[in-house]
Amino acid sequence: MSLIENLQWRHAVKAFDPNQSVSQENIDKIIEAARLAPTSSGLQPFKVIVVKNQAIKAQLVAGALNPDCMKECSHVLVFAGWQDYSAEKIDTVYDMTTDERGLPRGRFDSYTSMLKASVAKKSADENFEHIARQAYIGLGLALAQAAELKVDSCPAEGFNPKLIDEVLGLEKLGLKSIVIMYVGVADPARDWIAPMAKVRVATEDFVIEYN
């Protein structure tokens, strides 16, 4: 199936079968798609926290707008971003990049100096907004990868980030939750939205062309 057909196939699942689980192999592929996402300046300022542990999921339920999804999906992927950018983090990424490419450290100094000056001018909140935008690219690719694998999922912003961050100990890791992806096997009997048509604005209303 083509990417378009897979995107037509997927939908935001409302109820998962608690007795079925997605294979580790497929979870790994979904995470890999997020890891390969392009990010601004290649900083990859987010991580994916994978929660399969039922006891931890149970603690997260209170912070979910879709408590059934939290409880019954087989894996909760929490996309969590750096709390802020810093010169040190930028150096860490660029040192890794030059090392892996066999280039001298500092090869990109003129660019990273500009980048450090640019993030230093902005508030932590403004920087976090930018960080979150990178995480959403990862989410998009993860959703597309899940669709290709015919793995059911639901993206979700409906959660209490304070509770999620606290349960997962994200603050200590210098991270803040941004968006969740529930992954599991849909329960057709309760996934009420499944039979409904996918609705999108018409292409002519979506695209503005200057030819």
Ligand X SMILES: Cc1cc2nc3c(=O)[nH]c(=O)nc-3n(C[C@H](O)[C@H](O)[C@H](O)COP(=O)(O)O)c2cc1C
Among 26, 41, 66, 127, which residue interacts with ligand X (rule: CB under 6 A)? 66
Cα distances from 82 to residues 118, 139, 163, in angstroms, run 17, 16, 17
Nearer to ligand X, 120 or 193 (CB): 193
Q: Near ligand X by CB under 6 A, which window of 19-27, 37-45, 79-87, 156-164?
A: 156-164
For CA atoms 89, 92, 95, 97, the dihedral sign is: negative
Does residue 65 bind ligand X (CB under 6 A)? yes
Q: How many residues does the chain have?
A: 211
46-51, strands of its sheet edge to edge = 46-51, 75-82, 175-184, 152-156
Among 141, 151, 179, 185, which residue interacts with ligand X (rule: CB under 6 A)? 179
Shortest CB 66 distance to ligand X, Å: 5
Shortest CB 49 distance to ligand X, Å: 17
Among 30, 115, 154, 185, which residue interacts with ligand X (rule: CB under 6 A)? 154
Contacts to ligand X from residues 3-42, by CB under 6 A? 11-12
CA distance 116 to 109: 10
CA distance 169 to 163: 10
Which parts of this chain interact with ligand X (CB under 6 A)? 11-12, 65-66, 154-158, 179, 198
